[in-house]
Amino acid sequence: MVHWLQHETGGLLLLCAAAIAVLLFLIIVVKLEPFISLLVSGLALGLAAGLSVDKLVGTALSSKTSLLETGFGGILGHIAPIIGLGTILGAILEASGGADVLTRRLLGIFGERGAPLAMGLAGLIFGIPVFFDIGIFVLAPLVYITAKRGGRSLVLYAMPLLAGLSMTHAFLPPHPGPVAAAGLLGVSLGWLIVMGLICGLPAFLVAGVWWGSFIGKRVIIDVPEDFIVGEEAREAEAEGEIDAEEGGKEGGKKELPEPPLSLVLLVIAVPLVLILLATFGTVWWKHSSLLPTLTFLGTPAVALTIAVLLAMWLLGLRRGIPSAELSSLATKSLRPVGMILLVVGAGAFFGAVIAATGVGKALADTLSSWGLPVIVLAYLISCGLRLAQGSATVAIVTTGGIVAPLLKEHDYSQAHIALIVIAISAGSIIASHVNDGGFWIVSRYFNMSVRDTLKTWTVLETILSVVGFAVAGLLSTFI
């Protein structure tokens, strides 16, 4: 039986399908943590395919590195500092009031009629350094106030914001999904930033601007009074309309002034610019003495470290935030990152087992006979996993593990691999529904019933997914 599985294409594909079925069963039915589910599925697949214990998990007498070690260590060594530093950067921008100043300035530029677009741009810009759910927590009160003043449906203002936050979270570093996929497939983050923007911006415009405007006029959601009381009190206090006790200040804590918009944009732009310069410096300044310096500064971990230090100084220490408070903020922000890293590491192990069993070559042979491009397969697998179990991260790391061996069969450029990563990321956000935590966050924060959330948010995510993939697929035919 094991011999047949190891040498027959059909048997290998059947075994891989069975392993994915076990993974989904453990996550959906048993409700086991995705991290543990991926580990169990990977171990079961390896044993069923006939991999030795020594190769799979190692032994005390062996000097060889096991798949368990290379799977976890290889990917986490690449992404852990990037995700950790990106998380701290987002936390400092949030705590400093950067989101407020950005949104208010955009609202001032676009005016009342352009307020939905202003909210979308706020989500797009602020979504680069912060997680999707944190972006909602911080920016939702501003959406409430804007909708109340505009006298129109909350949906009209919420959809563009959500499209901006979701697009950056799905397609751009330093967010966990695209960074993990880039590590699994071996593509530069510079290329991922470029392709993420090229594919993501059209998706944002269609989903956030067009769909947001269309559905915002048809699904009417009022802003409940209790959603805006705290924000109005804060605004009134800032304008001197109520005193400190009525405004709810605690312990007479001194309020810091909002940071200049230029500093907020500088801190967000610095790591992106440095990474891009390092990526394309090998083309533009191939023989220049500047190249080693650009390469060093543009290494993602170094670029983000520079951005974090800038944020601590410009948005924190220089504005009166004590270093102890900044340290506490960084520690607090990193708490949710642990499980994300474990899931990514376990997904990389699952992918390493798939590669070691020969499933990658079997898939490549099958695709060659079908004429199905890798980018299409990557998207479809990611979509299926997303619909089945809800987690975008699990969909991305599992798909990345399945697809990575296929790339060895082709001589793809970095740009093409980046487009495959975008396809995987696009598939991981399709049709958010009741098995996705983000669905319930959107429903709760924007006062929508399950039915209204399906009509607005679920369709928005599907449009983002389909348009993002369509642009990536089109570009892949020319690159």
The residue type found at 202 is: P
Judgement on whether residues 375 and 349 belong to the same structural domain of the protein? yes
Distances (CA, A) of 33 to 28, 36, 211, 269, 346: 10, 5, 35, 36, 11
Tell me, yes or no, whether 251 lies in a domain: no
Judgement on whether residues 162 and 266 belong to the same structural domain of the protein? yes
Q: What is the per-residue pLDDT for 227? A: 65
Tell me, yes or no, whether 187 lies in a domain: no
Identify the domain boundary among 266, 301, 334: 334
Distances (CA, A) of 267 to 130, 135, 240, 259: 13, 17, 31, 12
- DSSP labels for 128-142? TTS-HHHHHHHHHHH
Q: Is 211 in contact with 293 (CB distance < 8 Å)? A: no
Tell me, yes or no, whether 438 lies in a domain: no
Judgement on whether residues 86 and 38 belong to the same structural domain of the protein? no
Tell me, yes or no, whether 440 lies in a domain: no
Judgement on whether residues 236 and 110 belong to the same structural domain of the protein? yes
Q: What is the per-residue pLDDT for 244? A: 38
Parent domain of 349: 8-56+63-73+343-432+448-476
Judgement on whether residues 325 and 400 belong to the same structural domain of the protein? no
* Tens of pLDDT, residue by residue, the chain (479 residues): 444 444 466 777 788 788 888 888 898 888 888 889 889 988 998 888 888 888 888 775 565 778 888 888 777 887 889 989 988 998 898 888 888 888 889 989 998 889 999 999 999 999 999 889 889 988 888 899 899 888 899 999 999 999 999 999 999 999 999 999 999 999 999 999 999 999 999 999 999 999 999 999 999 999 877 665 444 444 444 444 334 334 444 444 456 777 888 999 999 999 999 999 988 887 677 777 888 899 999 999 999 999 999 999 999 888 888 899 999 999 988 887 888 888 888 888 888 887 788 776 676 667 657 778 999 999 998 998 898 888 888 889 989 988 888 887 778 999 999 999 999 999 999 999 888 889 989 998 898 999 999 999 999 999 999 999 999 999 999 98
Q: Is 39 in contact with 346 (CB distance < 8 Å)? A: yes
Q: Report the domain count for the chain.
A: 2
Judgement on whether residues 354 and 288 belong to the same structural domain of the protein? no
> What is the rounded CA–CA span in Å between residue 250 and residue 240?
17
Judgement on whether residues 226 and 265 belong to the same structural domain of the protein? yes
> What is the rounded CA–CA span in Å between residue 323 and residue 114?
39
Judgement on whether residues 292 and 314 belong to the same structural domain of the protein? yes
Tell me, yes or no, whether 16 lies in a domain: yes
Tell me, yes or no, whether 248 lies in a domain: no
Judgement on whether residues 231 and 264 belong to the same structural domain of the protein? yes
- DSSP labels for 428-455? TTTT--TT-HHHHHHHHHTT--HHHHII
Identify the domain boundary among 277, 309, 334: 334
Contacts of 384 (CB under 8 A, 6+ apart): none
Token pair in block for residue 22: 């076990």
Judgement on whether residues 84 and 68 belong to the same structural domain of the protein? no
Judgement on whether residues 386 and 278 belong to the same structural domain of the protein? no
Tell me, yes or no, whether 359 lies in a domain: yes
Identify the domain boundary among 310, 334, 358: 334
Judgement on whether residues 32 and 115 belong to the same structural domain of the protein? no
Tell me, yes or no, whether 39 lies in a domain: yes
